[in-house]
Amino acid sequence: MVAEGPGVAVAELKAPASSLSAEIQVDLYRQMVRIRRFEEKSAQAFMRAEIKGFCHLYIGQEAVAVGALSALEPRDAVITAYRDHGVALARGTPARACMAELLGKKTGCSRGMGGSMHLFDRANHFYGGHAIVGAHTALAAGLAFAQQYESTGGITLCLLGEGAVNQGVFSETLNLVSLWKLPIVFLIENNDYAMGTSVSRSSAGLPLVNRGSAFDLAGRTANGMDVEDVREKVAEAVSLARTEHLPTLLEVATYRYRGHSMSDPDTYRTKQEIEEWKKRDPILLYRQRLEERQVLSESLAKQIDGEARAEAQDALTFAEESPEPDLDLAFSLPFSPEDQIDPIPRPRYSDL
**156 φ, ψ to 5°?**
-115, 130
Q: How many CB atoms lie under 10 A from the CB of residue 196?
A: 13
Residue 330's pLDDT is what? Answer: 84
| Whole-model pTM over 0.95 | no
Cβ(304)–Cβ(33) under 8 Å?
A: yes
Residue 6's pLDDT is what? Answer: 39
Cβ(116)–Cβ(102) under 8 Å?
A: yes
Nearest to 206 by CA among 166, 158, 159: 166
- Our measurement of the distance from residue 72's CA atom to the centroid of its chain's CA atoms, rounded to an integer in Å, reads 13
Q: Which residues pair with 189 in a beta bridge?
A: 161, 252
DSSP assignment of 225-280 equals T-HHHHHHHHHHHHHHHHHH---EEEEEE---SS-SSTT----SS-HHHHHHHHTT
Residue 11's pLDDT is what? Answer: 41
Per-position pLDDT tens, the chain of length 352: 333 343 334 444 456 667 899 999 999 999 999 999 999 999 999 999 999 999 999 999 999 999 999 999 999 999 999 999 999 999 999 999 999 999 999 999 999 999 999 999 999 999 999 999 999 999 999 999 999 999 999 999 999 999 999 999 999 999 999 999 999 999 999 999 999 999 999 999 999 999 999 999 999 999 999 999 999 999 999 999 999 999 999 999 999 999 999 989 899 999 999 999 999 999 999 999 999 999 999 999 999 999 999 999 999 999 999 999 988 888 888 777 766 667 777 777 666 6
* Cβ within 8 Å of residue 208, ≥6 positions away: 162, 165, 188, 190, 199, 251
Helix axes of 227-244 and 282-292: crossing angle, nearest 10 degrees: 100
DSSP assignment of 41-97 equals HHHHHHHTT-S-S-----TT-HHHHHHHHTT--TTSEEE--S--HHHHHHHT--HHH
Nearest to 90 by CA among 136, 29, 144, 141: 29
